[in-house]
Amino acid sequence: MNGILPLWKEKGMTSHDCVFKLRKILRTKKVGHTGTLDPEVEGVLPICIGKATKVASYVTDAGKEYIAKVSIGRSTETEDAQGETVTSDNSYKEFTRAQIMEALHKLTGEITQIPPMYSAVKVKGKRLYEYARKGIEVERPERKVQIHQIELLDEEENFAGEQVTFSIRVSCGKGTYIRTLAVQIGELLGYPAHMEKLVRTASGNFRQAECKTLAEVAEFMEAEIVDSILLPIENVLTDFPKVEIDTSDIEHIKNGQVLPAHPLLNDYPSIIMTYEKKIWAIYQNHPTKPGLMKPEKMLLPNE
Q: Which residues are catalytic?
A: 38
Residue 277, amino acid: K
Contact 168, 151 (CB under 8 A): yes
Q: In terms of Cα–Cα distance, which of 39, 37, 44, 43 is closest to 12?
A: 39
Residues 63, 248: Cα–Cα separation, whole Å: 37
Residues 226, 84: Cα–Cα separation, whole Å: 42
Residue 232, amino acid: P
DSSP annotation of 209 reads: G
Q: In terms of Cα–Cα distance, which of 103, 106, 94 is closest to 156?
A: 94
Residues 198, 289: Cα–Cα separation, whole Å: 45
What are the φ/ψ torsions at residue 13 (nearest 5 degrees)?
Answer: -120, 145
